[in-house]
């Protein structure tokens, strides 16, 4: 499901315990290079979210300049919105929507949790469907999810497939455990 940034701003930026500041020039906060513009801070003064002023590692991904990041209260990366489609850990990931509709979610340890593919892509032998407005609105759930060990957790299949004796048709959702077994 597409989630416009405006719909999640209370949760990701500007929640009840955050403060917005207008940065007149790029600044670093807890090692995060924030661009001029709005940045959000938790009540204790730690950075909650901002636009990156330069390419930076965010968890296990390399986020390009102008990516919007959201952090946990402990300072761990939580979400990234890319300014344009980009490769993320070898997977083509959506980005660039005016309202930052597609986010990358990370586990608290920085490992990749969820991406929205910009092209149909085989992951762990499963043909996963690209994210798009029509596929999401009329089919629901075109995000691609990973387990913390990096294995595919779930996606919508982009082609008919038989895996472990189970048949899936294009558009079906497939779910796998951390060892790669269908359930």
**14 or 79, which is more confident:** 79
The model carries a pTM of 0.85
Report the C-alpha gap between 87 and 145 in whole angstroms.
16
Residue 183 three-state SS? coil
Report the C-alpha gap between 119 and 116 in whole angstroms.
9
| Residue 134 burial (C-beta neighbours within 10 Å; 0-12, 13-18, 19+) | exposed
pLDDT at res. 97: 56
pLDDT in tens, 28-84: 999 999 999 999 999 999 999 999 999 999 999 999 999 999 999 999 999 999 999
**13 or 61, which is more confident:** 61
Q: Cα separations (Å) of 36 from 50, 64, 82, 84, 116?
A: 9, 16, 17, 19, 27
Report the C-alpha gap between 135 and 101 in whole angstroms.
14
pLDDT in tens, 85-119: 999 999 999 998 555 578 999 999 999 999 999 99
pLDDT at res. 16: 61
Average the pLDDT over 132-136 and give the result: 72
């Amino acid at each position: 499901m597409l989630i416009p940034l405006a719909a999640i701003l209370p949760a990701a930026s500007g929640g009840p315990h955050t403060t917005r500041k207008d940065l007149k020039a790029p600044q670093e906060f807890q090692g995060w290079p924030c661009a001029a513009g709005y940045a959000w801070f938790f009540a204790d003064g730690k950075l909650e979210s901002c636009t990156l002023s330069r390419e930076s590692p965010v968890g296990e991904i390399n986020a390009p300049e102008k990516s919007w990041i959201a952090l946990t209260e402990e300072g761990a990366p939580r979400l990234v919105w890319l300014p344009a489609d980009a490769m993320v850990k070898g997977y083509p990931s959506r980005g660039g929507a005016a309202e930052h509709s597609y986010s990358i979610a990370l586990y608290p340890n920085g490992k990749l949790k969820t991406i929205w593919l910009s092209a149909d892509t085989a992951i762990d032998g499963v043909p996963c469907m690209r994210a798009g407005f029509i596929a999401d609105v009329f089919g629901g759930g075109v995000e691609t999810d990973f387990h913390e060990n990096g294995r595919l957790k779930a996606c919508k299949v982009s082609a008919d497939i038989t895996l472990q004796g189970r048949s899936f048709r294009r558009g079906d959702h497939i779910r796998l455990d951390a060892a790669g077994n269908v359930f």
